[in-house]
Amino acid sequence: MTVGELLSSAAESIKADTLDSGAVIKCDMNGCEDEQIYADKARLRRVFTNVVSNSLRHSDKRDLEISLSASRRKDDVVIKITDNGCGVKPDQLEKIFEPLYTTDTSRSVAGLGLSICREIIGSHGGIIWAESEYGKYFSVCFTLGIVTSEKRPE
Q: Read out DSSP for 58-76? A: H---SS-EEEEEEEEETTE
Contact partners, residue 63, CB within 8 Å, separation at least 6:
22, 24, 84
Q: Are 64 and 22 in contact (CB under 8 A)?
A: yes
Query: Per residue in 2-50, pLDDT tens?
Result: 999 999 999 999 998 888 888 899 999 999 999 999 899 999 999 999 9
Q: Average model confidence (pLDDT) for the chain? A: 87
pLDDT score for 101: 58
Lowest mean pLDDT among 41-45, 55-59, 77-81, 148-152: 148-152
Q: Is 22 left (phi over 0), alpha (psi -120 to 50) or beta?
A: left
Q: Domain coordinates of the chain in residue numbers?
A: 3-145
Name the CATH superfamily, with its identifier, for domain 3-145: Histidine kinase-like ATPase, C-terminal domain (3.30.565.10)
Asked if residue 69 has pLDDT above 50, the reply is yes
Comparing CA positions, the residue from 38, 61, 67 lying closest to residue 140 is 67
Instruction: Report d(CA 66, CA 149) in Å as an integer.
Output: 34
In this prediction the pTM is: 0.87
Whole-angstrom CA distances from 101 to 48, 97, 104, 107 are 19, 7, 9, 11
